[in-house]
Amino acid sequence: MKDDNFTSVIALGGLGEVGKNMYVIAHKEEIWIIDAGVLFPESDLLGVDYVIQDVTYLKQNQDKIKGLLITHGHEDHIGGIPFLLQNVEIPVIYGAKTSIGLIKKKLEDRSVPYNYDNLVEIDGNSKIDSKYFHIEFYNTTHSIPDSYGIVLHTPNGVIVQTGDFKFDLTPIGPMADIQKMAAAGQNGVKLLLSESTNALVPGFSTSESCVDETLSDIINGYTGRVIIATFASNIYRVKHIVETCKKMNRKIMIFGRSMESATQLALENGLIDDKSIFIEANEAKSLKKNEICILCTGSQGEPLAALSRIANGTHKQIQLQPDDLVVFSSNPIPGNAESVNRVVNKLYLKGVRVITNSEFNDVHTSGHGKQEELKLMLRLIKPEYLMPIHGEYRMQKMHKELGVSCGVDPNKIFIMKNGEQLIMDNEGCHMGSPVQAGDIYVDGSRIGEVGSIVIKDRKLMSRDGILITILNINPYTRKLLIKPNITTRGFVLVNESQELINKIERKTTEVVNNYLANNQYSYTDLKNQIILELHPFITNLTGRRPIVLPVIMEVKEASNNN
């Protein structure tokens, strides 16, 4: 039976985008899944909180699923787990200690039931064996502790999935296991799935140690309060800030829910050992300014995060003082630049000093390797085939060029889309038939109920507002009882546009009377007729296209009296 002796690789998310990573490796009756992340939508998906994967393929192959392997604890890799578990049965989830901690918290927050015995901790020495697979992990450097790459031995050769990585020769946490990567390359790797986030950025990323030096210098020399905003998940950065403050005799106030839980987790794990450095806001009153550091969330300009509230002057416990120094130990994620600028401007308006990451101030470094690091990975792993993952199309494309420059045959590099299937067999790798994949919108806690029509409505409403016509109709006599009442929101100011409103009112009366005179009364038909005729009428008058919402009140009593 040569026919079904192939291994297939499918991304259900993560290709053509940075987010909602999910890669499926299948052989005969076995499926292994790598990561289940979310994507944070751009602002054009109004009101949508997350985008997750369409997991129809997994549902259809439910009985083959052996387990879920987690590379690390970032949202774009674990954020989709609560939703996945509600749709698909996952027998075991393997992840490093930090990842498992974050997953547990996620499941608790969303009250998703899962047997915690099936959350299995792995490290660089772990090995998993199934009928067709032998799976190992190696430590990588990334902006969250406990990040791993995965080596999967399959009947058709070795697949390496890098997870998110950079190379840092002087990291703050443990050193990446470069030897293990080189050994895998030495033994022969058929296919490399490598992340592409910074494929467009030339050079080699700054070491976390340089960032720490800069931060130390800034904190050391400053006489006022220092306020630092960074990613709560970057525990090593947080750890370093804590240690620096300790040396410089500053106490730390923590603001922001994710920062609180991250430091809590770090204390529990022993990554941060001294609890006494953290103080409450009221304890700070007795301290001098140069004895205070505020560590908070909001480095992305998120409107509700601690830093935004501090900048707005709406934070309950912290009022800005003119000699405060605010440090953004972060870079804006694409899409957030505008909101970060807004916060920076507000801070300047309040007269405080602001330091953001720049070529003069290394107060942040990316967790993703730049071009030279992606090349180093290619040189270490020496794959025969390359599939750039974790990136938008242009990043995947550039990653292909990097692959070619490192000696990979251009015909053996696959730029794929979500749902496309790569087949590995004894002849090598080639494209197979695609499976179902796509975007599912999560709005609050509702999964998949917001379709594209809802989004379209929200866009229309946000652009042109909404117009409501309230009609009192007697369905028996087929008469409009009083003239239509017109209300608008976000369309025009009713007071200032009385003439326009009157015109719409008269038009509505005309449409309704016309309909009632010539048709059998039907609630739905009448509504549609109103929408159909009012849309062009309003667009003609105003050039705008508000959502028209007819509300029909059927007043039946009147007919009994007549």
Q: Which stretch binds Zn ion (CB under 5 A): 71-79, 259-267, 302-310, 439-447?
A: 71-79
Instruction: Give me the least distance between CB of 142 and Zn ion, in Å please.
Output: 6
Query: Would you say 238 and 232 are in contact if contact means Cβ atoms under 8 Å apart?
Result: yes
Closer Cβ to Zn ion, 74 or 237, answer by number: 74
Closest CA to 378 of 181, 151, 89: 181
Exactly one of 30, 164, 373, 420 binds Zn ion (CB under 5 A); that residue is 164
Instruction: Give me the least distance between CB of 368 and Zn ion, in Å please.
Output: 8
Instruction: Give me the least distance between CB of 447 and Zn ion, in Å please.
Output: 22
Instruction: Give me the least distance between CB of 76 and Zn ion, in Å please.
Output: 4
Q: Give me the residue label for tokens 């039907």.
A: 522
Instruction: Give me the least distance between CB of 18 and Zn ion, in Å please.
Output: 7
Closer Cβ to Zn ion, 164 or 443, answer by number: 164
Instruction: Give me the least distance between CB of 422 and Zn ion, in Å please.
Output: 20
Closer Cβ to Zn ion, 22 or 227, answer by number: 22
CA distance 244 to 228: 12
Total length of the chain: 562
Instruction: Give me the least distance between CB of 258 and Zn ion, in Å please.
Output: 15
CA distance 177 to 150: 12
Closer Cβ to Zn ion, 76 or 439, answer by number: 76
Closer Cβ to Zn ion, 99 or 297, answer by number: 99
Closer Cβ to Zn ion, 76 or 464, answer by number: 76
Exactly one of 20, 66, 74, 250 binds Zn ion (CB under 5 A); that residue is 74
All residues at 6 or more sequence positions from 37 whose CB lies less than 8 Å from its CB, including other chains: 13, 14, 19, 20, 21, 22, 74, 75, 76, 77, 78, 79, 80
DSSP state of 205: P
Closer Cβ to Zn ion, 256 or 367, answer by number: 367
Q: 170: how many CB neighbours lie within 10 A of its CB?
A: 10
Q: Which stretch binds Zn ion (CB under 5 A): 40-48, 76-84, 238-246, 391-399?
A: 76-84
Q: Which stretch binds Zn ion (CB under 5 A): 68-76, 300-308, 527-535, 542-550?
A: 68-76
What is the C-alpha radius of gyration for the chain, rounded to an integer number of angstroms?
29
Assign 466 to helix, strand or coil: strand
Question: Residue 540 has which token pair?
Answer: 């003609």
Closer Cβ to Zn ion, 164 or 362, answer by number: 164
Q: Give me the residue label for tokens 């291994």.
A: 7
Should residue 17 be labelled a site residue for Zn ion when binding is judged by CB under 5 A?
Answer: no
Query: Would you say 208 and 236 are in contact if contact means Cβ atoms under 8 Å apart?
Result: yes
CA distance 55 to 85: 11
Edge-first strand listing for the sheet containing 30-34: 119-121, 93-95, 65-69, 30-34, 22-27, 7-13, 421-425, 428-431
**Which H or E run includes 13?**
strand 7-13
Q: Which stretch binds Zn ion (CB under 5 A): 67-75, 253-261, 381-389, 503-511?
A: 67-75
- Residue count, binding to Zn ion (CB under 5 A): 3
Which of the residues 275 through 294 are near Zn ion (CB under 5 A)?
A: none
Closer Cβ to Zn ion, 17 or 76, answer by number: 76
Exactly one of 17, 30, 35, 76 binds Zn ion (CB under 5 A); that residue is 76
Residue 159's alpha-carbon distances to 109, 128, 191, 342, 425, in angstroms, are: 35, 14, 5, 44, 13
Should residue 20 be labelled a site residue for Zn ion when binding is judged by CB under 5 A?
Answer: no
Instruction: Give me the least distance between CB of 14 and Zn ion, in Å please.
Output: 8
Site residues, Zn ion (CB under 5 A): 74, 76, 164
